Chains A and B, each alone.
Chain A
Amino acid sequence: MNKVVSDADEAISNIKDGDILMLGGFGLCGIPENCIAALVKKGIRDLTCISNNAGVDDFGIGLMLKKRQVRKMVSSYVGENAEFERQLLSGELEVELIPQGTLATRCLAAGYGMPAIYTPAGTGTEVAEQKEIRNFNGKEYLLEYAFQADYALVKAWKGDTDGNLIYRQTARNFNPLMAMAGKTTIAEVEQLVPAGQLDPDFIHTPGIYVHKIFQGKSYEKRIEQKTNRKVN
């Protein structure tokens, strides 16, 4: 078993034009910075990106948007990005907005081997249009399908050479769900350790879900909304 690759360039080497990618993170928190940088460098195009958000103009997925590498975004909230707005309004970019819990659970379903789930989110709204509706115990639910993604790109705090992952604080968010959901999952970690050095009781993502792992470098971990306590 050898899951360890040297860097992001090697990790993403098989990703090709038109692939469907999942990218972990919430806002700029817990995003796979190294993989995004490598994708920008390689210039792969026509990508579909499933990600809760679309980054900001000069960071995160925003860097890929700027180079027009993204054909379609599947997200729950895409504010804070002027270039995104421009491409959307000009029709260069397709966007599918879905409720955040539905996004998370469609990842979960994929990772749990379930083809679809029922959720009440979006019933009675335009999200329900053309979807199968079923009544359980007097309440309506929408049928939503598991995602099918070629690659999941996730960021963890610690990982071992067998691909076991541990996330830190709210940087966990969508990462463990997407890690389970990708046909191929690539994990970048702040600390890569030999197998056996992480306590098995504290693993968030078991290595079976992870195909490639590498020690990330130069993390910027940009803060989107720095907010401090008012000092009297």
Chain B
Amino acid sequence: MPLSKEQIAQRIARELKDGYYVNLGIGIPTLVANYIPSGIKVVLQSENGLLGIGPFPEEGREDPDLINAGKQTVTTIPGSAFFDSAMSFGMIRAGKVDLTVLGAMEVSEKGDIANWKIPGKMVKGMGGAMDLVASAKNIIVAMMHTNPKGESKLLSHCTLPLTGTRCVRKIVTDLAVVDITENGFKLLERAPGISTGEIRAKTEGKLIVEGDIPEMVF
């Protein structure tokens, strides 16, 4: 079975460590916040100026002055801090954020990422994605392995306009966990019941498979 979006988030959450400052993008990455392992403290950064994003507010308790980068109403956790947008991207640029989780349309075997523009379609803008991918030291992409047409999103070269180059370190899809290495995509884990052959068939870029590839366990 391919992973659900929640399971992709759950798998990514296993990468979190105590004391991490983490920026979660919109979509599947946001769900990672629901699976922070117990016993560790992770501080979520929102690029509109908040460290320490808390859960969504209870009905009637939302505050229009307190939103996340997806413009959703949020709360704060004890120990949170507010700041302006320049400081927010300053801490990103300076490499203070330990982990960035983003969605993507395409990732190349070199770690290039495309996630902001499709030629011929209305372009809404890159928001903070280009700043994040240009500076983050550890980027994990959360996405489906193929697009709705069934075409691979793990490519030898991105075909869409790039958001950033040579920046993605790891990809968690509905089928697999892969690392980006000097030599291409390296398969680390399979979704339960998904064969190495199926992952290979759905990966257009170079896929390195060494030895037995373990199944993810949930």
The chain A residues found within 8 Å of chain B, CB to CB, are 26-30, 52, 75-79, 85, 88-89, 97, 99-105, 107-108, 119-127, 157, 168-177, 204, 221-229, 231
Q: Mark B98-138, 1 if CB is under 8 A from A, else 0.
A: 00000000000000100000000011111111110011000
Partner of A97, one of B59, B82, B126: B126
B63 is an interface residue with CB less than 8 A from chain A: yes
Q: Which of B55, B82, B131 contacts A169 (CB 8 A)?
A: B82
Q: How many A-B residue pairs have CB under 8 A?
A: 173
Given A77-B126, A177-B85, 13 more pairs with CB closer than 8 A:
A28-B71, A75-B125, A77-B124, A77-B127, A100-B89, A125-B162, A169-B63, A170-B66, A173-B49, A176-B84, A223-B73, A228-B56, A228-B58
Whether B58 lies near A99 (C-beta < 8 A) is no
**Cβ-based interface call for B67 (8 A):** yes
Q: Nearest A residue to B162 by beta-carbon distance?
A: A125
Nearest B residue to A112 by beta-carbon distance?
Answer: B86
CA distance A101 to B125 in the complex (A): 13
Given known contacts A123-B165, A175-B84, is B48 in contact with A29 (CB within 8 Å)? yes
| B73–A122 CB distance below 8 A | no
The reply to whether B85 and A26 contact each other, CB–CB distance below 8 Å, is: yes
Q: Is the CB of A104 within 8 A of B89?
A: yes
Asked if B163 lies at the interface with its beta carbon under 8 angstroms from chain A, I say: yes
Cβ contact within 8 Å between A104 and B46:
no
B92, CB-defined interface residue at 8 Å: yes
8 closest residue pairs by CB, A with B: A101-B89, A101-B131, A124-B165, A79-B124, A77-B125, A221-B64, A104-B85, A120-B134
Q: Confirm or deny: B88 has a beta carbon within 8 angstroms of a beta carbon on chain A.
A: yes
Query: Which of B65, B122, B162 is the one whose CB lies under 8 Å from A170?
Result: B65
Q: List 19 A-B residue pairs with CB atoms under 8 Å apart, sorted by A's residue number.
A: A27-B48, A77-B124, A99-B128, A100-B131, A101-B47, A101-B93, A119-B131, A123-B164, A125-B161, A125-B163, A170-B50, A173-B84, A173-B85, A177-B84, A227-B56, A227-B62, A227-B74, A228-B58, A229-B59
Tell me how far the C-beta of B205 lies from the nearest C-beta in chain A, rounded to whole angstroms: 18
* Interchain CA distance A104-B62 in the complex, whole Å: 27
Task: Tell me if A169 and B66 are in contact (CB < 8 A).
Answer: yes
Measured CB to CB, the nearest residue on chain A to B46 is A170
Q: Chain A contacts of B131 at CB under 8 A?
A: 99-102, 119, 121
Closest to A30 in B: B65
User: Given the complex, which residues of B lie within 8 Å of A89, measured CB to CB?
Assistant: 122
Q: How far is the CB of A101 from chain B (nearest CB, A)?
A: 3
Q: Once bound together, how far apart are the Cα atoms of A123 and B166, in whole Å?
A: 11
B85 engages A174 (CB within 8 Å): yes
Residues of A within 8 A of B214 (CB): none
Q: Are B71 and A27 in contact (CB under 8 A)?
A: yes
* Smallest Cβ-Cβ distance to A97: which chain B residue: B125
